[in-house]
Amino acid sequence: MLHALRQQGLSYGEKYQSFEREEEAVQLFLGLLRSKRKRGYRAISREAAKRASTPASCAPGDATGKLALNNDAGMTSAE
């Protein structure tokens, strides 16, 4: 099993670790999780993660990114 650590936004600082057994990797992961929680990191729900990954230019529920114009004013929807 191989584990790679990299700081986000940096092109250096990579660290690779290999493990003989899966239990060793799990223990490292759980330790990393505990240390992040101590620093204030928290897990988010899948729904919140989906909302966070939605591009800001798309309206909620509109995966096409098209804008709907007000038809009451005699306008048609944008294509």
pLDDT at 65 over 50: no
* Number of independent structural domains in the chain: 1
Residue 9 lies in a domain: yes
21 domain-assigned: yes
Q: Is residue 46 part of a domain?
A: yes
The H helix count followed by the E strand count for the chain is 2, 2
Burial class (CB in 10 A: 0-12, 13-18, 19+), 3: middle
* Residue at 63 is within a domain: no
- For residue 51, count other CB atoms closer than 10 A to its CB: 11
Q: Which domain holds residue 40?
A: 2-53
Residue 27, CA distances (Å) to 11, 17, 19, 21, 58 in order: 27, 13, 11, 10, 41
The pTM for the full model equals 0.43
Q: What is the pLDDT of residues 7-48, one digit of tens each?
A: 666 666 667 788 899 999 899 889 988 998 998 988 888 888
